[in-house]
C-alpha cells in the first residue's frame, strides 16, 4: 500500500509541475507571398513575443520591436512589419522593402 500511495503522490507532484506546460501551445502559421517573389512562412506562438520565419530555406527568429503603426519584428538582417490595417512588408538580404500578402 505504501508503494501505491507514493506513486500517487509522485504523480500529483509531477502534474502540478508539468501539468499546465504539457498542454500544446496555440499557434498561428501564415504563408506569405511578396511582390519581389519572396515566399516565407511566419509562425506566432501564444506566450512568445517573437516571430519565427522560414525564409530562404533557413529558420529565422525575429524579436518584437516598438512600433507605433502596428507590429514590427527584427533579427538577423530581416525586418517584418505588419500594420494595424493588415499590410505586411518584408526587408531581408539587403534587398529593398517589399509588400507581402497572405497566400
Distance CA 51, CA 73 (A): 7
Architecture of domain 26-102: Beta Barrel (2.40)
The answer to whether 74 and 81 are in contact (CB under 8 A) is no
Query: Which are the contacts of 24, defined by CB distance < 8 A and separation ≥ 6?
Result: none
Give 48 or 13, the one with higher predicted confidence.
48
Percent of the chain scoring above 90 in pLDDT: 72
Residue 24 has a pLDDT of: 55
- pTM of the predicted model, to two decimals? 0.74
Q: What is the mean pLDDT of residues 60-77?
A: 96
pLDDT tier, 25 (very low <50, low <70, confident <90, very high otherwise): low
Residue 26 has a pLDDT of: 77
Instruction: Answer whether residue 20 shows pLDDT above 50.
Output: no
SS3 94: coil
Amino acid at each position: 500500500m505504501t508503494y501505491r500511495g507514493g506513486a500517487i503522490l509522485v504523480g500529483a507532484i509531477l502534474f502540478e509541475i508539468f501539468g499546465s506546460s504539457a498542454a500544446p501551445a496555440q499557434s498561428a502559421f501564415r504563408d506569405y507571398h511578396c511582390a519581389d517573389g519572396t515566399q516565407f512562412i511566419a509562425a506566432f506562438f501564444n506566450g512568445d513575443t517573437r516571430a519565427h520565419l522560414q525564409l530562404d530555406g533557413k529558420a529565422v527568429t525575429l524579436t518584437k520591436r516598438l512600433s507605433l503603426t502596428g507590429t514590427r519584428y527584427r533579427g538577423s538582417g530581416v525586418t517584418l512589419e505588419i500594420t494595424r490595417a493588415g499590410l505586411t512588408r518584408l526587408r531581408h538580404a539587403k534587398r529593398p522593402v517589399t509588400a507581402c500578402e497572405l497566400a
